[in-house]
Structure 1
Amino acid sequence: MKLTTLSVMAGLFAGIAGFAQAQEVPAGYPADYSKIIEGSRAESGLMIYSNMADNNWQPILKGFSAKYPWVKVETIDLGSGTVHSRWEAEKGSKSRTADVLVSGANDRWAAYGKDGLMEDYKSPEIAQLPEFAYPYPGVNVLSTDPLVITYNAALLPDTQRPKGFASLVAAATADPDTFTGKITTYDAARNSFGLSAWWSYMDKKGEQGWSDLRKIGPMIRGETSGGPMNEKIATGEYLMGIAVSGITIFPRLEQPGGEILGFAFPDDGTIMMLRGMGIPKGAANPNSAKLFIDYALSQEGQTLVGKGGLVPYREDVPEDQVRYTFQKISEIVGKDNIITAGFDQRLITEAGPFVEKWNAAIAGK
C-alpha cells in the first residue's frame, strides 16, 4: 500500500491567481456549479482509494491542484479488490475513508450499480463522452486500458511471437515442450480483474475461445498482478503473457533493459478494461469529489490521464500528447476486434459457473 499526498505551496501572487481562477465556472457547465466550487472550500480535502501507482496519478493531480489549490488530495494505492473491501469495511464508521473510489474490479462496480451505492452525480462532461462512460448512476469510467500479449524478445524468435490469441495457441501447440509452464495470464479464479477480463473475452468469443483456452490451459501459470508477470517474462521464467495490463508494460519498455520485452495488441480481440470511478454515498467531502470527477473527465483531465500512462477515451484528446487513446487502438486492431470489458451484471450472476469452467479449461478439460 502506498500513500501519496500532493499539496500546492505557492507564493502570494500565485495564491491570488489560483483563487481568481477557481471562481470561474468551466465553459458549458451550469451557472450554479459555483456552489460546488465554493462548497469545496469548507471541506477537509480529498481521499482517493485506487489501484493506480504514483506515476499514474502525478500528472492529473498536478493539474487538478493547479486549478483547485485549496483541495489537498491524498491517494492510497491498493489492489483492485482491496479498494472496495477496505471502503466497505470503513463506511458507516467514524474513521476517515475514501471520497472517491477508482479501480478495475468491474464486478464490484456492477454490484454498486445494482445496489445504488455511489452518489448519483452526473458530471456535465458526460455529454462529451461515449455511452459506456456512465453505465450506472454515479459510476463513471476514468480510462480504457488495453490488455496485451507480452513476450521475451530475446528468447522468442520472430516466427513464434504471437500477434493474437489464435496465433499464440498455434505457436504453443506446435511446440509444447517449449511453452509448457512458460505462459502466464491473470488467474480468473483468484483475481477480480482477471475475472472481468476473461469473462468479457469469452462472452465475445464463445465456444471457440473456450476451445482455444483448453488447448493451452495446462501450459499456463496464473498470476494476480501485471507487474510480476512482466518481470518474470523479462527474466525468462515465462516466455509470454496473455491479456497482460498494457499500463504495466508500457513504462517498463522505456526503462533500462526494456528492449528485452515486446508486446502486441491482439489482432483477433484486444480487451479494453474500463476503469471505474465513483463517489460513495455519504462521502465526507462530496463537493471536492465532484470537482475531481469533473476534472478527470474533462479534455484537460483525460489528456493528463494519458500522460500518466493510462489510456484516455475522449475523442478530443490530442493523440500526439499521449501514448495511446481508445480511438488509436481501435484503428490499430479494427473496431470489430475491440472487446470492451465493462460492468455487466452477469459478472455477478455468472461468476461462480464461469470460474468452474475456467478452472476446467486451465486443466485442459
Structure 2
Amino acid sequence: MDKKTCGLLLTGVTLFSLAGCGGSGEQSSAAKDDLKGEVVLYTSQPEKDAQKLIEAFNKEHPDVKVSVFRSGTEEVISKVMAEQSAGDIKADVLLVADNVTFESLKNKDMLEAYESPELSGIPSQFIDKDHMYTGTKVITTGIMVNTDKAKEQPAAFADLTKTAMKDEVSMPSPLYSGAAAYNLSLLTRTNGLGWDWYNALKANGVKVDKGNGSVQKAVVSGEKAYGIVADFMANRSRKDGAPVTFIYPSEGSPAVTEPIGLIKNAKHKKAAQAFIDFVLSRKGQELAASIGYTPIKEGVAAPEGLKSITDIHVLSGDVTTLFTNREADKKQFSSIFS
C-alpha cells in the first residue's frame, strides 16, 4: 500500500480510502480527465479485492477519492438502514452479495435507476429491468475439500450429511454472509435438500462459522475436511498451494452476482456513475477475472480452475419468494443452530 492509501480498522470491519495516483465514461458524467471529487462505496468484497478495484478505477479517474466501508453483506445493509433512519445515508454506491438484498432496498425506494452504457455483453437476467442494479460477477457456492484430510470426496451437497463426514464440515452463517443468506432461502426450496438437509447437517456436527473466509481458513488449515464456500476462495487456496479442491455439486450451484447499484439521491452522483461504469466495463471485468472471479460479461474468460457461466448448472429461484422469506428463513436457521 503506497503513501496515498490510508487504512483504519474499526470493530471487525474495515474503512479505508484511496486517492488516485495515476475507460469508460458514462452518459452524463464528465470525461475521465475532468472527473474530480469523491465517491463513497459500501461493499462486502474482501478488503484486498476492493482495494485492487479502487486502484484500477483511479488509473482511469485519478482525481476521484474513493472511501470504503466493508463488512459482511448483512452488516453493510444494517449500516445503510441505520443511516437511512438517521436521515443521512453516506454511501453513494453499493456492491454487495446478491440480487435479493438489492430487491429489498429497491422495495424500500432506496435505489436510483442508472442505465450504464457498459451493459453490452451482460446477460439480461443479471440486469434489473428497472436498472436499479446490475450483476458484476458470478460467484457460485460449492464444496471445498482438504484432500489430505478428507476420507472421501463428495459429489453433492447431500453427501455432507454422511457419517464419514461427521464433525468435518464448516459452513458460513446466513446471519452474517449475504451469499449464505441467499443460499439458505434457495437451498431450502431445492428438491432433495430443503430444511431436512439443514437439520441433517446440524445432526452431523456441522460448524457454523461467521463468513466464507472463516470456512476457507478452517479447510486450508485442516481443522475441517469440508467447507461450503464460494468458488473463488477455494480456487485461490488451491493456487496458493493448499491441498484443496473445489466441487461443483451435482444438485446444481447457487450463484450470486454481487450486484452494484446507485443509492437514491447520492451525494456524489457523477463519480458514483463513473465507478459503476468502470466495474461493468471490459477493463473492470478483466480485472475481476485477474483477481479470481468468473466475469459476468460475455467474451471475458474465467480464471483457470473455475467454470464459465455457460458451463455451470446454476440453481435459481423466484427472486420475490426469496426476498419475502429471507428474514423468516434466517429466524428458522437460528432456531436450528442456536
TM-score, structure 2 normalization: 0.83
Corresponding residue of 2:314: 338
Corresponding residue of 1:251: 236
Q: Kindly name which structure, 1 or 2, has the bigger radius of gyration based on alpha carbons.
A: 1
Corresponding residue of 1:264: 247
Q: In structure 1, what is the Cα distance between the partners aligned to 2:288 and 2:33?
A: 23
Corresponding residue of 2:146: 152
Corresponding residue of 2:276: 293
Corresponding residue of 1:227: 213
Query: How many residues are aligned here?
Result: 324
SS in 1 for 2:119: helix
Q: Which amino acid aligns with 1:246?
A: D
When residues 194 and 274 of structure 1 are mapped into structure 2, their CA distance, relative to the original with a 3 A threshold, is same
Whether the 8 Å CA contact 1:307–1:323 is kept in 2: the answer is no
Corresponding residue of 1:164: 156
Q: Which amino acid aligns with 2:93?
A: V
Whether the 8 Å CA contact 1:311–1:324 is kept in 2: the answer is no
Q: In structure 2, what is the Cα distance between the partners aligned to 1:251 and 1:110?
A: 30
Deviation track 1:171-194 (CA, whole Å, cap 9, x = no partner) reads x43xx2x43222122334665432
Report deviation, 1:267. 3.0
Report deviation, 1:311. 2.2
When residues 39 and 300 of structure 1 are mapped into structure 2, their CA distance, relative to the original with a 3 A threshold, is closer
Q: In structure 2, what is the Cα distance between the partners aligned to 1:292 and 1:83?
A: 19
Corresponding residue of 2:185: 199
Residue 108 of structure 2 is aligned with which of 104, 112, 115? 115
Q: Which amino acid aligns with 2:153?
A: R
Q: In structure 1, what is the Cα distance between the partners aligned to 2:245 and 2:32?
A: 48
Q: Tell me if 1:312 matches 2:324.
A: no
Q: In structure 2, what is the Cα distance between the partners aligned to 1:85 and 1:189?
A: 11
Q: Which amino acid aligns with 1:236?
A: G
SS in 1 for 2:144: strand
Whether the 8 Å CA contact 1:105–1:196 is kept in 2: the answer is yes
Q: Tell me if 1:102 matches 2:77.
A: no
Q: In structure 2, what is the Cα distance between the partners aligned to 1:200 and 1:240?
A: 21
Residue 81 of structure 1 is aligned with which of 40, 56, 74? 74
Corresponding residue of 1:66: 59
When residues 192 and 264 of structure 1 are mapped into structure 2, their CA distance, relative to the original with a 3 A threshold, is same
Q: In structure 2, what is the Cα distance between the partners aligned to 1:148 and 1:208?
A: 14
Residue 183 of structure 1 is aligned with which of 169, 186, 210? 169
Corresponding residue of 2:323: 348
Q: In structure 2, what is the Cα distance between the partners aligned to 1:139 and 1:83?
A: 16
Runs of at least 5 residues in structure 1 that lack an aligned partner in the other structure: 11-21
Q: Which amino acid aligns with 2:207?
A: R
SS in 2 for 1:85: helix
* Root-mean-square deviation over aligned CA pairs: 3.1
Q: In structure 2, what is the Cα distance between the partners aligned to 1:201 and 1:41?
A: 47
SS in 2 for 1:316: coil
When residues 282 and 149 of structure 1 are mapped into structure 2, their CA distance, relative to the original with a 3 A threshold, is same
Q: Which amino acid aligns with 2:271?
A: S
Corresponding residue of 1:241: 227
Corresponding residue of 1:302: 285
Q: Which amino acid aligns with 1:165?
A: F
TM-score, structure 1 normalization: 0.77
Corresponding residue of 2:260: 277
SS in 1 for 2:49: helix
Q: In structure 2, what is the Cα distance between the partners aligned to 1:362 and 1:95?
A: 36
SS in 2 for 1:279: strand
Whether the 8 Å CA contact 1:151–1:161 is kept in 2: the answer is yes
Q: Which amino acid aligns with 2:203?
A: P
Corresponding residue of 1:124: 117
Deviation track 1:295-319 (CA, whole Å, cap 9, x = no partner) reads 1111121111222222211112144
Q: In structure 1, what is the Cα distance between the partners aligned to 2:120 and 2:18?
A: 30
Deviation track 1:177-214 (CA, whole Å, cap 9, x = no partner) reads x43222122334665432211212333x2355444444
Q: Which amino acid aligns with 2:286?
A: T
Report deviation, 1:284. 0.9
Residue 9 of structure 1 is aligned with which of 14, 21, 25? 21
